[in-house]
Amino acid sequence: MSTNFRQTDRQTDRQTWIDVCRGIVIVLVVLGHGEFRDFPILALPSMVQHFIFGFHMPFFFIISGYLYKSVSVATMAKKAWHRYLIPYFILSFINLCIIGPICAYFDCEPYPIFDYFCGIIYSCGQEYMMYVWVPLWFLTGLTSSLLIYTLICRAKNHRMRIACIILCALYAKALDFLGALKLPWNIDTACMGVLFLAIGQTVRQKNIMDKFDRLGIFKRICLLTVVLCIGSFSIVNNRFVDFNSNTYGNLILMILGSCCLSFFIMAICHKCLNGANIVTRGLSYLGRHTIYIIGFDYFSGRVATYILNTYSFGDWFIRFCIKMMLLIVGMRLWYFIIGLLGKNSKIYKLLSF
């Protein structure tokens, strides 16, 4: 019996093609976190990293906006607490108490645990504050962004909402221009994220994906080609974009590149990846467990680097393959262990992010 791979998951109330999108981009995130000054042979080529960083974080904000449902600020805070903040603190303290000391031992570095504890509370995604769990900054950043956006959406005047969204983006860019210090809980980055949440919600409200699907195949190919070219041109000709550090380069090029590449991936997955096969199932599985992946991404990279450096072989691609293998094996082991507690247990529900 054939299966429509774009069906809505009854348990999660979300479409599976979105998980495939997330799976594709989280793989690019793992690939993009490949800069190693101490081992240049294992470092990802700078142009590849430049391209990935040009759109991967805005993509996750756009997808979150696509799935956004208008609720009260209190309801959003409660949802964000369970969906993002509980995993944030659990994964942060696992890294702080277990993984961090192990990495520091093999790196022959001091381990200022109190500084890292303060880094978790402040949630500044820099290695001197969050060490090997830096990617978890996104969870507090997304939470802040969703709360700000929900507050803006409470305004009844449509023009007022648009003005607030634009002002948020300009505020984030102004902080980038001034070289200001990172704000707690990534509020600066969250302000830029508000713009992409709005874009994602607009895509859904205007049924843009369905309208794209109704185009003829020739028009779809031409449109995707134009979108890919514009997006690639914008990213390549912009400065290095890093949402974690609140650096965006040229604002127009950043928005254009991010939106074009995000739409390209969404359109491909929405229209073409509609058959349940091993590739789409694998990407969907990764897309459903992005929080686990960002929690252990840096650690898996350290292990992969240690293995390759010990045996003096490999390059950036082999390192990436080992990272993915470690993440997938670790993920399966994680869910096997917590599954022993019973899927209806509170601990399983707490740790099954």
DSSP state letters, 185-254: GGHHHHHHHHHHHHHHHHHHHTTHHHHHHTS-HHHHHHHHHHHHHHHHHHHHTSPPPBGGGTB-SSHHHH
Mean pLDDT value across residues 25-46: 80
Residues 6 or more apart whose Cβ sits within 8 Å of residue 103:
131, 132, 299, 302
Which comes out higher in pLDDT, residue 36 or 317?
A: 317
Q: How far is CA 293 from CA 43, 93, 198, 277, 352, in A?
A: 20, 16, 26, 22, 12
Domain ranges of the chain: 8-351
pLDDT (tens digit per residue) in 226-280: 999 999 999 999 999 999 999 999 999 999 999 999 999 999 988 766 556 788 8
344 — pLDDT class (breaks 50, 70, 90): confident
CA angle, 65 then 71 then 76, to 5°:
75
Question: What is the helix (H) or strand (E) element at residue 8, kind and residue range?
Answer: strand 8-9
Query: Quick one: 169 exposed, middle or buried, by C-beta within 10 A (0-12, 13-18, 19+)?
Result: buried
pLDDT tens sequence across 173-184: 999 999 988 999
pTM > 0.75: yes
| 67-71, 102-106, 195-199 — most confident range | 195-199
How is residue 130 written in tokens?
A: 């969050």
